[in-house]
Amino acid sequence: ELQAPPDKIAVIGAGIGGTSAAYYLRQKFGKDVKIDLFERGEVGGRLATITLQGQEYEAGGSVIHPLNLHMKRFVKDLGLSTIQSSGGLIGVSNGDTLVFEESSWFIINIIKLIWQYGFQPLRMHMWVEDVLDKFMRIYRYQSHDYAFSSVENLLHSLGGDDFLGMLNRTFLETLQKAGFSKKFLDEMIAPVNRLNYGQSMDINGFVGAVSLAGADSGLWAVEGGNKLVCSKLLQASKSNLISGSVMYIEEKTRTKQTGNPTKMYEVVYQTGSETRSGFYDIVLVATPLNRKMSNITFLNFDPPIEEFHQYYKQIVATFIKGKLNSTSFSSRALDEFGLSTILTTDNSHLFINSIGIVSSVKENNNPQPSTDGAFVWKTFSPETLTNEQLLKLFLSYEYAVKQQWHAYPYYKPPDKCPPIILHDRLYYLNGIECAASAMEMSAIAAHNAALLAYHRWNGHTDMIDQEDLYEKLKTEL
């Protein structure tokens, strides 16, 4: 049995989380509900491009895994096109020398890997595949409309105590326990974490697995920029975009047209120099609740959340068009260098996490140098690069433009995730980032929140936090 649908729903934040939430809310609640989507900056949020000399480059979320089924589905349903993101050759620097260097010959790479690390790369590949296999169960649950009231319940449903337990152990502990050697972890795994999350092996085991998945083959991106998914989802959801910054949310009793007094949320926001507000039956918060990132407060109720305590790590992405100083990484001159991505080890005294040649969002991955042999490179670093540092990395450069991010949570297991249900009909999506931050994670959180809001509105408690879902659904055709 269904209740009358809500009149109005607010979604705060038009990143991939908020726009996909609007899309799924429309699917569940139907055409009559009015959905307002609040955004104080650009639609896309941490999916953003930067335009340099007329070319656009991904400056935030850039690659998508081939098994990220929500992102895949969006691109297909919204009529977008994809480009493959396979890069060129990768090397790993410890600050003095290259501890690993890829060859363009497949067979040489295999021999090198076995010579340096035995069968550990293969075992690691199998470990990540095992985590991904379990992770994929979420798509089956969501296609059957099941929802979870907490991130912990969601992860537990995927693989039980062991799977959820990954949040409580560091990646280092997890992999050491699985028998991987220090050399392999230092030279192969830690550098991938530094590239993807700007953090050491002390991140939790689950985000560690996601980070390694982010180094798999078959990664792709959206032609024209990943942020196009957000603007297309917004359009498809037929939501009303409100350009404004939400300041606070207050619970108030209102008398609806039916004459019944009803508890509603007043969303108060600033647009230009004006303060305005609207009343909503349901509110979804799709931005990290963190003073630096959203600064939203709550009046008349206390959400069970340590508001503003989720610390996000700063990452600076710098785009440099220039000629690399290859001798910063190896003894070889540039014309014999051949690497297009360099990762760094944890103990490296280098001031960057990674550096790599990038293609524009329109190029099908064959970045071309300009006539003088300069490429566009992207570095990730914890701090803004100084001119002196840039001149250490480059023989010469035409421009260096930075984009600063509060990028991802600072992972420090054991971590308890923030709740999804902040109040009666108020939901929070970005708690899922405490497990792992990635586009697909936000899309999963969005689908879950839309289903949860729908089932709670209609009193369908049997669709929430069902135990043994995997076994139950296995028997269904």
Ligand X SMILES: Cc1cc2nc3c(=O)[nH]c(=O)nc-3n(C[C@H](O)[C@H](O)[C@H](O)COP(=O)(O)OP(=O)(O)OC[C@H]3O[C@@H](n4cnc5c(N)ncnc54)[C@H](O)[C@@H]3O)c2cc1C
Ligand Y SMILES: CC(C)=CCC/C(C)=C/CC/C(C)=C/CSC[C@H](N)C(=O)O
Q: What is the dihedral of CA 67, 73, 74, 77, to 10 degrees?
A: 160
* Binding site partner of 102, from ligand Y, ligand X, none, Cβ cut-off 5-8 A by kind: none
Please say which residue, 385 or 469, places its beta carbon nearer to ligand X: 385
Quote the least distance from Cβ 441 to ligand Y, whole Å. Answer: 5
**Residue 440 binding ligand Y, by CB under 6 A:** yes
DSSP string, 10-61: EEE--BHHHHHHHHHHHHHH-TTSEEEEEESS-TBTT--EEEETTEEEE-S-
d(CA 186, CA 191) in angstroms, rounded, equals 7
**Residue 193 binding ligand X, by CB under 6 A:** no
Question: What does the DSSP 8-state code read for residue 292?
Answer: T
Is 20 in contact with 37 (CB distance < 8 Å)?
Answer: no
Which of 135, 180, 265, 394 binds ligand Y (CB under 6 A)? It is 135
Which of 35, 203, 420, 438 binds ligand Y (CB under 6 A)? It is 438
d(CA 298, CA 425) in angstroms, rounded, equals 13
**Residue 231 binding ligand X, by CB under 6 A:** no
- The angle formed by the CA atoms of residues 296, 298 and 412, to the nearest 5 degrees, is 60
Cα separations (Å) of 428 from 150, 335, 431? 10, 51, 7
Quote the least distance from Cβ 440 to ligand Y, whole Å. Answer: 4
Please say which residue, 438 or 469, places its beta carbon nearer to ligand X: 438
Which of 16, 124, 131, 361 binds ligand X (CB under 6 A)? It is 16
Which of 61, 225, 418, 431 binds ligand X (CB under 6 A)? It is 61
**Residue 40 binding ligand X, by CB under 6 A:** yes
Cα separations (Å) of 172 from 209, 225, 253, 433? 11, 34, 51, 20
φ and ψ at residue 464, rounded to 5 degrees: -120, 135
**Residue 68 binding ligand Y, by CB under 6 A:** yes
Which of 49, 62, 326, 379 binds ligand X (CB under 6 A)? It is 62
Quote the least distance from Cβ 108 to ligand X, whole Å. Answer: 28
Which of 10, 47, 158, 284 binds ligand X (CB under 6 A)? It is 47
Footprint of ligand Y on 416-435 (CB under 6 A): none
Which of 43, 213, 264, 350 binds ligand Y (CB under 6 A)? It is 213
Max distance between CA atoms of the chain, in angstroms, equals 79
Quote the least distance from Cβ 210 to ligand Y, whole Å. Answer: 5
**Residue 204 binding ligand X, by CB under 6 A:** no
* Binding site partner of 315, from ligand X, ligand Y, none, Cβ cut-off 5-8 A by kind: ligand X
Please say which residue, 142 or 239, places its beta carbon nearer to ligand Y: 142
Contacts of 417 (CB under 8 A, 6+ apart): 150, 151, 152, 167, 431, 432, 434, 435
List the one residue out of 407, 361, 357, 360 whose CA is nearest residue 378. Answer: 357
Footprint of ligand Y on 363-422 (CB under 6 A): none
* Binding site partner of 245, from ligand X, ligand Y, none, Cβ cut-off 5-8 A by kind: ligand X
List the one residue out of 457, 445, 340, 477 whose CA is nearest residue 20. Answer: 445
**Residue 166 binding ligand X, by CB under 6 A:** no
* Binding site partner of 213, from ligand Y, ligand X, none, Cβ cut-off 5-8 A by kind: ligand Y
Question: What does the DSSP 8-state code read for residue 344?
Answer: E
Which of 22, 138, 315, 400 binds ligand X (CB under 6 A)? It is 315
Please say which residue, 18 or 165, places its beta carbon nearer to ligand X: 18
**Residue 430 binding ligand X, by CB under 6 A:** yes
Give Cα 299 distance to the centre of its chain.
30
d(CA 153, CA 141) in angstroms, rounded, equals 13
* Binding site partner of 185, from ligand X, ligand Y, none, Cβ cut-off 5-8 A by kind: none
CB half-sphere exposure, 237, CA atoms < 13 A: 32
* Binding site partner of 135, from ligand X, ligand Y, none, Cβ cut-off 5-8 A by kind: ligand Y
Please say which residue, 70 or 323, places its beta carbon nearer to ligand Y: 70
List the one residue out of 75, 28, 30, 437 whose CA is nearest residue 231. Answer: 75
List the one residue out of 404, 406, 442 whose CA is nearest residue 291. Answer: 406
**Residue 246 binding ligand X, by CB under 6 A:** yes
Please say which residue, 99 or 438, places its beta carbon nearer to ligand X: 438
d(CA 38, CA 28) in angstroms, rounded, equals 20
Please say which residue, 239 or 381, places its beta carbon nearer to ligand Y: 381
Which of 48, 63, 374, 452 binds ligand Y (CB under 6 A)? It is 63
Q: In which element (H, E) is residue 395 found? A: strand 394-409
Q: Which stretch binds ligand Y (CB under 6 A): 17-25, 323-331, 415-423, 436-444?
A: 436-444
φ and ψ at residue 94, rounded to 5 degrees: -100, 15
Please say which residue, 239 or 290, places its beta carbon nearer to ligand Y: 290
Residues that bind ligand Y (CB under 6 A): 62-65, 68, 135, 195-196, 210, 213-214, 437-438, 440-441
Residues that bind ligand X (CB under 6 A): 12-18, 38-41, 45-47, 60-63, 245-246, 286-287, 293-296, 315, 317, 405, 407, 430, 437-440, 442
